[in-house]
Structures are given as structure tokens and as C-alpha cells.
């Protein structure tokens, strides 16, 4: 009996000390590292919301509107570097990457100095710091979003922002604009007197343009200055939402075969130091899994689908009301690219894909008929609008021939354009309405080609998808946690009670991923509210409207959480399709440098 008791006690002690016997399987996040990393992730959430509340499109960047945001991105880069040092995270740059980045930066500095010496130096340096801030944004986000949880959280923040701006756009179309028209028609002079910044004498061309804009233009713009800029953002958001939502819906319907029978449930861990806790995991049986799936078919399981339909409807209606012709084409291109890059989707669920294509086609036909009956100019003026773009591009190519090596400086395009404007052209533009040409003529041809090549490599699959990473990390005869990068669970039968135990190796990626998600969402919530309040005091933002739209959008996207979690295996493909959609829009639109567009991209 004594021997048996000693064996039982020894087995219990071994079970309690299993994590230590496994060689400290859990990555321990130090208190210092946790603080620095959390501060960085929280600030990233704040800046994502800020970029949508104050998108700084049109010429705002060159006038210095984006300087506070740029300072925020540089502070974030410093915090991120400190957090990486504290947590033992490091970038792995090869010599070629260092050489390319250093050469591009040095070239850009010389180009900015030369552009400023022959033009407005303040405008040139404002554009320079915008480019540097975007670089800080990319490198900080690539470090602070190490895994699928944090990446999905960042996408959720962008989806909340896109839906909020769509709601605000609908409020402008159906509430604000009709009220402004009625107020102006009742007493034009009184309304103009309330806006002393408007110098519009009666009978002047500026007064006529203002009246045409107010009385006959009903396109939404939300927090942007230009309707086309809002159309670019909503186009990417629509493709991203549909990509993640359709994939999650298909997964929930059970049309995709899962490589794992079930996901173990029992890891009692949360972000930060709580992730050090450990307890045995019980493997769910096939019968229990089937019962869980059948139990999820009740009324509650339809809430995510209803929320998804509402979000798509709101964003789609506002996107359609922008009347942006290139946005219509770009969404079709992005959706087709998402389908073609996911060949498995076509094979696994051809019926659902066919239904989506049929529904999209019918929607486009109905939208085209509505435009033909109610606003034919949107369709009939398309050739004329494209001919104007050709004039812009021809003049830009001539400018590029004279200033290709050093560029004219970001923001100085309008100063040079009159000398190259075609005789038939009548409009003086601030940018060439084509992002590759704008990069090359503004930042110099070498820097522009370097950035275009890098972006093309990323779009063509320069990075691994989450799904491929997980598949590569799955060892034989083991049960891995789906969609969790770096986590490997090997099921054994060493438990004294006969339960399955999972000897988890929780990597640094998992700990930092969970902590980043936690701080990112809290930073976006609290910091976003603070940004909204401060911007309301310092600018003319409609704070009550924005507060309501953001709260409603957060609730709707929160209801979408099950669909987004189920579809996060396709997160990489949906994100690339959304970026491709936005870049396609910017081929004939301006303001690529706007924070509200470049940061999401």
C-alpha cells in the first residue's frame, strides 16, 4: 500500500510539474516587455482610428495637416523598437534589403532637398515626412501584428471604420444635404454669412460653382474632402468584408473539410502574464463535436449572418452612391482576383461561388439600370472623364522626362503642371490621378520604381499566408490548433485519469499575438474616443454623428466575430484582394498619399 501510495503521489506530482518537465514550454513575457509592447500596440490602434477620422486627402498632406499623425507614427516606431528589444524580437533583414532601403532613403533625401531649393521647401518636406511616416507604419505594424489574432483585430478596426464612414455618408445624403439645400434656398445670404470663410460674391463663377455643388451634387464624402477618396476606401472595405464573411459562412455551413476533428477546449489563458497558467486539456470526441455543430444551428447562429448582410448593404449602398465609375470596376476586379487566387474555393464550393457571382452580376445590372434612369451622366460622361485622364498622364510623362532622376517633390506637382499642360486641357490639377506616375514624378523615378516593385512583390505573394504557415508547421500524428501560428499540440495518454493531455509549446508568437490583439482593441476603443473628442474641439467634425456611427459599427462588427474567426484562414487572400481593389481605384484617382487610404493599404 505504501508503495502504491508513493507511486500515486509521484504521478500526481509529475502531472502538476508537467510544464517544468517539458522545459518551460510557455514563453514568459516580462513585465517590462509587456508594458512596452502593450503601449506600442495600443498606440497602433489609436493611429488606425485617427487615420480614418482625419484622412487628410486632397492637398491636406502638403499643407501640413498630417504632421501630428506623422509624429505619432514616428513615436510608434520608437516604442515598437523598444518593445522588440524588451521582448527579444528582432527583424531579419538581409544585406540586399538593407542596401535597398538605405539607398532609397538617401536618394529621397537628396530629391527632397533639390525639389525644395527650386520650389516651396515646406511642401516638399511635408510630403517627405508623410512617406517616412508610412514606412514607420509598415515596419511597426509588421512587428506588432505577429499572428492571426492581432492581424484579424487590425482588420476588424478597419472594417468598423469603413462601416462607420459609410453610415456617416448615408446620413449626409439623406439628412444633412437636404437640410443644407433647404436652408440655402430659404435665405442664401444668411447661410453664407454664417460661414465667413466663404468669399462668394453674387454672380461670381465661384458662387455658381458653390451652388452647383450644394444643390445638385449628392455624393457622400464622410470625413474625406473628396467623394472619390471615400469610394476608394469603401471599395477595399467591401471586398475585404465579403471575402472574410463568405469564407466564414461557408466554413460554418460545413462545406469545407477540416483537417482536424476538433479544437481542444480548456486552455485557461489570456493576454499577458495570464498566459503562463496551464491546465490539462480534454480532447473533444467526434460525437461531442457533432453535437456542438448541431447546437449552433439555432436562432443565435443567424445573428452573424444578419449582421454581415446589414454591413454589406450599408457599405454597398454608400459605395454605390459615390457614383465612382472606377470604384465599380475595381470591386469587380478585386472580387475576381479573390476568387481566382483561392482555387480551393472554386473546387470545394462551386455552387456557393456561382451563387455569389450570379448575385453580384444581377446587382450590377440593376445598379446600371437605376443609374441610366436617374443619373445618365454617370455612364454617358465616362469616355469624356477618361479622356481627361489621358491628358493628365500625357503631361505627366513629359514632366517625368525632364525631372525623372530627382522628381519634383511630393506636393509640388501643381506648380510644374501648367508648363506641361496640353493646350486643350483647361484644368490645373494637384496630382496626375495615377499612383504609379505620381510616385515616379514626385519622389523620383528610381524611388518610384523601387516602391512599385516592392508593392508588386507583396501583392503577388511575397509573404506566406496564415493557412500555408499552419500547414507547414503541422507535424505528423499530432493535433494542431487551426489558424494559430507557432502552436503545436501533441496529444498523449499520460494523464492518470485517462484524459488526453496536450503538451503545448506556446511560442513567443502566440503570447505576443494575443497581447497585441488585447491592447490593439483597447487602444482603438479608448484612444479613438479621445481622438474624436479632440478633433471635435479643434475642427468642424460632427462629433455626435460620428460617435453614433462608430458605436453602431462596432456593435455590428462585434456580431460578425464568429464569421470573421471562421474565415480568418483566408485573411491573407482577402486582404490582398482588398489592396488590389484600392490600387485599381487609384489608377485613375488621386490622393494616394492620404492617411485614410495609404495606412489601410
Q: How many CB atoms lie within 10 A of CB 60?
A: 20
Q: What are phi and psi of 291, to 5 degrees?
A: -65, -40
Chain segment 277-305, per-residue pLDDT in tens:
333 333 344 444 444 444 344 444 788 88
Q: What is the pLDDT of residue 254?
A: 60
Q: What is the pLDDT of residue 351?
A: 65
Q: Is the pLDDT assigned to residue 488 strictly greater than 60?
A: no
Between residues 152 and 184, the one the model is more confident about: 152
Of 138-152, 182-196, 285-299, 581-595, the least confident: 285-299
Would the pLDDT of 475 be above 50?
Answer: no
Q: How confident is the model at residue 426 (pLDDT cuts 50, 70, 90)?
A: confident
**Average predicted confidence (pLDDT) for the chain:** 76
374-393: average pLDDT: 82
Residue 348 is predicted with a pLDDT of 54
CA torsion 481-483-484-488 (nearest 10°) is 40
Give the pLDDT score at 25: 42
Predicted pLDDT at 583: 95
Residue 29 lies inside a defined structural domain of this protein: yes
Altogether, the residues listed in the chain come to a count of: 601
Give pLDDT, residue 92.
Answer: 66
* Residue 503 pLDDT level (bands cut at 50, 70, 90): very low
Q: Tell whether the model's pLDDT for residue 464 goes beyond 60.
A: no
If one compares 359 and 590, the residue with the highest pLDDT of the two is 590
Residues 407-440 as b or e (16 or more Cβ within 10 Å = b): bbbbbbbebbbeebbeeebeeebbbbbbbbbbbb
Q: How much is the average pLDDT of 74-95?
A: 85
Please tell me the distance from the alpha carbon of residue 16 to that of residue 378, in angstroms, as a whole number.
Answer: 70
Alpha-carbon separation of residue 379 from 120, 305, 317, 585 (angstroms) = 39, 34, 18, 17
Confidence (pLDDT) at 41: 95
Which residues, at least 6 apart from 513, have a Cβ–Cβ distance to it below 8 Å?
A: 146, 147, 148, 149, 150, 485
Which of 47-51, 115-119, 280-284, 531-535 is the least confident region? 280-284
Give the integer Cα–Cα distance in Å for 120 and 415.
9
Q: Which has more pLDDT, 457 or 73?
A: 73
Q: Is residue 15 part of a domain?
A: no
Other Cβ atoms within 10 Å of 366 Cβ, number: 10
Residue 549 pLDDT grade (very low, low, confident, very high; cuts 50, 70, 90): very high
Specify whether the CB–CB gap between 239 and 578 falls below 8 A: yes
Question: What is the pLDDT confidence band of residue 135, given thresholds at 50, 70 and 90?
Answer: very high
Specify if 13 maps to a domain.
no
Number of domains in the chain: 1
| Residue 21 confidence (pLDDT) | 38
Residue 504's DSSP bridge partners are: 489
pLDDT band at residue 118 using 50, 70 and 90 as cut-offs: confident
C-beta separation of 500 from 253 below 8 A: no
- Let me know if residue 4 belongs to a domain: no
242, pLDDT greater than 80? yes
- Considering the domain boundaries, does residue 264 fall inside one? no
State the pTM of this model: 0.81
Domain assignment of residue 427, yes or no: yes
Query: Sorting pLDDT into bands at 50, 70 and 90, what band is 32?
Result: confident
- pLDDT band, residue 367 (cuts 50/70/90): confident
* pLDDT grade for 344, boundaries at 50, 70 and 90: low
Q: What percent of the chain has pLDDT over 70?
A: 75
Considering the domain boundaries, does residue 519 fall inside one?
yes
Q: What is the mean pLDDT of residues 58-87?
A: 90
* 259 occurs within a structural domain: no
Higher pLDDT, 154 or 472: 154
d(CA 421, CA 394): 9
* pLDDT tens sequence across 150-177: 999 999 999 999 999 999 999 999 999 8
pLDDT at 22 over 90: no
- Beta strand segments in 102-192, E: none
Measured between alpha carbons, how far is 31 from 33 in angstroms, rounded to an integer? 5
The x, y and z cell numbers of residue 235, run together, are 471599395
Instruction: Decide if pLDDT at 436 tops 90.
Output: yes
| Phi (first) and psi of residue 501, to 5 degrees | -105, 145
Domain limits for position 456: 21-254+270-598
Average pLDDT over residues 548-557: 95
Q: Does position 507 have pLDDT exceeding 70, yes or no? A: no
CA 161/CA 142 separation, integer angstroms: 20
pLDDT for the residue 349:
57
Amino acid at each position: 500500500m505504501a508503495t502504491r501510495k508513493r507511486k500515486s503521489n509521484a504521478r500526481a506530482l509529475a502531472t502538476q510539474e508537467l510544464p517544468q518537465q517539458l522545459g518551460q514550454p510557455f514563453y514568459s513575457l516580462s513585465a517590462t516587455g509587456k508594458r512596452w509592447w502593450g503601449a506600442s500596440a495600443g498606440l497602433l490602434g489609436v493611429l488606425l482610428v485617427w487615420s480614418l477620422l482625419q484622412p487628410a486627402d486632397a492637398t491636406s498632406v502638403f499643407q501640413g495637416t498630417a504632421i501630428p499623425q506623422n509624429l505619432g507614427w514616428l513615436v510608434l516606431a520608437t516604442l515598437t523598437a523598444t518593445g522588440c528589444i524588451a521582448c527579444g524580437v528582432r527583424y531579419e533583414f538581409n544585406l540586399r534589403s538593407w542596401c535597398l532601403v538605405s539607398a532609397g532613403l538617401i536618394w529621397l533625401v537628396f530629391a527632397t532637398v533639390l525639389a525644395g531649393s527650386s520650389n516651396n521647401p515646406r511642401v516638399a518636406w511635408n510630403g517627405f515626412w508623410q512617406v517616412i511616416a508610412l514606412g514607420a507604419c509598415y515596419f511597426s505594424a509588421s512587428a506588432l501584428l505577429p499572428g492571426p489574432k492581432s492581424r484579424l483585430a487590425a482588420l476588424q478596426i478597419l472594417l468598423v471604420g469603413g462601416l462607420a464612414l459609410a453610415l456617416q455618408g448615408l446620413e449626409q445624403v439623406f439628412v444633412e444635404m437636404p437640410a443644407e439645400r433647404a436652408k440655402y434656398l430659404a435665405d442664401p445670404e444668411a447661410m453664407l454669412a454664417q460661414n465667413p470663410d466663404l468669399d462668394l460674391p453674387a454672380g461670381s463663377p465661384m458662387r455658381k460653382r458653390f451652388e452647383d455643388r450644394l444643390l445638385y451634387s449628392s455624393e457622400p464624402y464622410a470625413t474625406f474632402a473628396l467623394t472619390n477618396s471615400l469610394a476608394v476606401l469603401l471599395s477595399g472595405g467591401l471586398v475585404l468584408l465579403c471575402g472574410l464573411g463568405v469564407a466564414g459562412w461557408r466554413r460554418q455551413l460545413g462545406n469545407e473539410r477540416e483537417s482536424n476533428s476538433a479544437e481542444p477546449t480548456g486552455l485557461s489563458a489570456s493576454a499577458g502574464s495570464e498566459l503562463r497558467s496551464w491546465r490539462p486539456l480534454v480532447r473533444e470526441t467526434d460525437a461531442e463535436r457533432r453535437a456542438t455543430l448541431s447546437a449552433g444551428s439555432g436562432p443565435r447562429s443567424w445573428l452573424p449572418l444578419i449582421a454581415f448582410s446589414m454591413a454589406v448593404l450599408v457599405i454597398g449602398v454608400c459605395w454605390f452612391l459615390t457614383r465612382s465609375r472606377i470604384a465599380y470596376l475595381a470591386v469587380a476586379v478585386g472580387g475576381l482576383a479573390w476568387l481566382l487566387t483561392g482555387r480551393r474555393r472554386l473546387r470545394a464550393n462551386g455552387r456557393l461561388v456561382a451563387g455569389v457571382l450570379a448575385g453580384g452580376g444581377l446587382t450590377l445590372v440593376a445598379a446600371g439600370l437605376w443609374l441610366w434612369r436617374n443619373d445618365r451622366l454617370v455612364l454617358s460622361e465616362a469616355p469624356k472623364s477618361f479622356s481627361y485622364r489621358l491628358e493628365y498622364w500625357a503631361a505627366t510623362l513629359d514632366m517625368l522626362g525632364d525631372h525623372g532622376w530627382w522628381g519634383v517633390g511630393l506636393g509640388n506637382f501643381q506648380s510644374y503642371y501648367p508648363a506641361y499642360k496640353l493646350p486643350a486641357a483647361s484644368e490645373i490639377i494637384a496630382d496626375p490621378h495615377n499612383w504609379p506616375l505620381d510616385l515616379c514624378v514626385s519622389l523620383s523615378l528610381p524611388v518610384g520604381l523601387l516602391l512599385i516593385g516592392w508593392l508588386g512583390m507583396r501583392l503577388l505573394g511575397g509573404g506566406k499566408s496564415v493557412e500555408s504557415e499552419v500547414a507547414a508547421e503541422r507535424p505528423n500524428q499530432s493535433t494542431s490548433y487551426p489558424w494559430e501560428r507557432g502552436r503545436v499540440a501533441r496529444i498523449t495518454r499520460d494523464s492518470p485519469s485517462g484524459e488526453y493531455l496536450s503538451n503545448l509549446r506556446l511560442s513567443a508568437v502566440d503570447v505576443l499575438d494575443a497581447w497585441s490583439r488585447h491592447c490593439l482593441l483597447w487602444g482603438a476603443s479608448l484612444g479613438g474616443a479621445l481622438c474624436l473628442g479632440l478633433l471635435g474641439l479643434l475642427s468642424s467634425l460632427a462629433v455626435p454623428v460620428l460617435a453614433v456611427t462608430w458605436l453602431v459599427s462596432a456593435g455590428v462588427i462585434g456580431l460578425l466575430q464568429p464569421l470573421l474567426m471562421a474565415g480568418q484562414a483566408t485573411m491573407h487572400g482577402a486582404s490582398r484582394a482588398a489592396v488590389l481593389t484600392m490600387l485599381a481605384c487609384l489608377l485613375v484617382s488621386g490622393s494616394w498619399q492620404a492617411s485614410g487610404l495609404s495606412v489601410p493599404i
